[in-house]
Structure 1
Amino acid sequence: MPWIQVKIDIHPAQIDSIEELLLTSGACAVTMEDGKDQPIYEPERGTTPLWKHTQLTGLFDAAADMQSIIPKIEARYQALSGSPLPAHRVEILEDKDWERAWMDNFHPMQFGTRLWICPSWREPEDPNGINLMLDPGLAFGTGTHPTTALCLAWLDAQDLKDKVVVDYGCGSGILGIAALLLGAKRVIGVDNDPQALEASRENTRRNNIEEDRFEIYLPGEAPDIEADVMIANILAQPLISLSPTLANMTKKDGLLVLSGILEQQASDVSECYSEWFEMNPPEQKEEWIRLSGSKR
């Protein structure tokens, strides 16, 4: 079953109130983990000490409308505490999301005919292939999730030579870096998570790509641009609300690729973008859909 997770960076004193808000807002489960690598040694009997910097994760069904749920959580927390909800982010749960636990099982993977995604700690299986060396850190995007795999396979099939690409919701940078390795001239990456921006920068260096070829921005800070290719692998509701923005950032006859969409959400997203784009039939992998089109 596909899932969405909400990650919130909190102080231990905030746990009870935020955990309750997540559960009453539809979270199926809430977990806590160390946010800053702080060891806890031999706690006193009967106590449950928590880390000074704790990351609280709420797990939601992937069909949940997070664009309406998150503002309600923010408003209720503001009313209860008198302060804003701490820093948080919403992302698709990858197939292997336990922190670093997938490393032993993350093998080089081929997408299409040319492109390979290779863990940075392993040797490429095809030295003559286009090998993207990846360490996603805490950001979304390893290629193991169907939404990312669908986008990588699409990129491999395109002629990207000298193209300008926007990767909206860049996460680990996997799609933007793949586009550069496949011939793109320039990529603009956008993400609202500072950890994602750092992961994108580090993976750009790891693949020996000049940093000025992969420009990385927070939303609202990206330059005015008309891209040859617009890629957005996020979620259905944000894709719908961002449709005018993504359309304005795509040039006439430019290509559009959207993912992070469940099968039952695809028609709504496609109908929304059809105002600006000639949409192609959807492509599916497991429960997830990739939409593509070209701007009129």
Structure 2
Amino acid sequence: MPYREVLIAAGQDLALRLSDALLELGALSVDVEDRLAGSEQERALFGEPGMAQPPAAWSDNLVRALFSDEAGADAALLGLLAEGVLPDLRGVRQQDVAEQDWVRLTQSQFQPVCIEQRLWIVPSWHEAPADAPMVLRLDPGLAFGTGTHPTTQLCLRWLLRRAPLRGLQVLDYGCGSGILALGAALLGADAVDAVDIDADAVQATRLNAEANGVALRHVCHVDELPRQRYDVVVANILASPLRLLAPVLAAQARPGGQLVLSGILERQAEELIEVYAPHASLERWAELDGWVCLAGPVHA
């Protein structure tokens, strides 16, 4: 049985009101998109660290609300009229939407990724290539880190260039799915710890470690990490938290130990190098698609 989709053209303020009202009126999901997408008037809508907060919606929007059936869609539209959210139904459209396996549709967006022609990051719903020299099976769950983002790839490349990591202790600070911690473990690090402030990330890292047969020493909330100094501290976060964490991350590394930082846009790199200058000698190690990885030793 098909789902029923309601489509409503709306300005910025109305789009936000419609989103809240439609969910309250029983919509299974509500999506707001730029009506001008694909035209010369299309514009990006996203935020970056250090920049002004972007608007919550475009000036010309298309609101899509999904309902289980036509009766539910009709009832919601009557509710919008009764609550005065909409003055009338001019410009409102409805259409059937075929039932889909939404989980599989989302998963299909993430394909296996090969880093440095050595390490394959393979989502749990895919098969690894038969000739893959090294495989890291990954299910991100609700956490960040699928191996597809340039910042993740930059950090993995840094680890691969320095492999084997025998004799080294590594900390993945802000572990997300655990991809960097698991990569370090597979590359031979003596001990690897992974911490995050998000309980979902901690859980995802534990499950991914188990799925790969990898032993991580500590996987926990950042506040629960035992006192320890590391040979390598990797933090793939964003520029704003990295600024604030400069003394914290530097203190996690032993004198001469390496800091590896990513989640940094090219235009933010020099500022981060200056922020960390009292603690470490960072340099631009590599760049990919507008993102930068900084790396260098902590001061003795």
Residue from 166, 169, 176 that aligns with 1:161: 166
Matched, 1:217 2:234: no
1:124-135 correspondence runs (5 A): 124-135=128-139
CA RMSD of aligned residues (A): 3.2
Q: Deviations over 1:46-100 (max 9, x none)?
A: 972268xx9xxxx741234699xxxxxxxxxxxxxxxxxxxxxxxxxxxxxx976
Question: Please, which moves more after superposition, 135-144 or 119-128?
Answer: 119-128
Superposition pairs for residues 1-296 of structure 1, below 5 Å?
48-49=25-26, 60-64=46-50, 101-159=105-163, 160-210=165-215, 213-296=216-299
Partner secondary structure for residue 62 of structure 1: coil
State the TM-score, normalizing by the size of structure 1: 0.67
Tell me whether 222-231 or 117-126 shows the greater mean CA deviation.
117-126
Report the Cα offset of residue 137 of structure 1: 0.9
Deviation of the 1:289 alpha carbon:
1.0
Distance in 1, matches of 2:225 and 2:159, equals 22
Q: 1:50 to 1:197 in 2, by over 3 A?
A: farther
Gaps of 5+ in 1: 1-22, 34-44, 68-97
Change (3 A) 1:124 1:265: same
Q: Distance in 1 between matches of 2:283 and 2:156?
A: 17
Indicate conservation of the 8 Å contact 2:284/2:292, yes or no. no
CA distance in 1, matches of 2:16, 2:167: 46
1:107-166 per-position Cα deviation (integer Å, ceiling 9, x unaligned): 221111421101112221144511000011110000111111111111111131131111
1:264–1:156 Cα change, 3 Å:
same
CA contact (8 A) 1:176 1:214 kept: no
Structure-2 change in CA distance of 1:139 and 1:295 (3 Å): same
Q: What's the CA shift for 1:236?
A: 0.5
Per-residue CA distance 1:2-39 (angstroms, 9 max, x = gap): xxxxxxxxxxxxxxxxxxxxx99xxx989989xxxxxx
Cα displacement (A) at 1:106? 2.3
- How many Å separate the matches in 1 of 2:233 and 2:227? 14
Q: Which amino acid aligns with 2:173?
A: Y
* Inter-partner Cα distance in structure 2 for 1:197 and 1:251: 24
After superposing on structure 2, the runs of 4+ consecutive aligned residues of structure 1 that deviate more than 4 Å are: 28-33, 64-67
| Residue 281 of structure 1, CA deviation | 2.8
Q: Is the 8 A contact 1:63 1:262 kept in 2?
A: no
| Structure 2 unaligned spans of 5+ | 1-11, 31-44, 54-101
Name the % identity.
41
**Structure 2 letter corresponding to 1:63:** P
Secondary structure in 1 matching 2:166: coil
TM-score (norm 2): 0.66
| Count of residues in correspondence between the two structures | 222
Name the residue aligned to 1:40.
none
How many Å apart are 1:202 and its aligned residue?
0.5
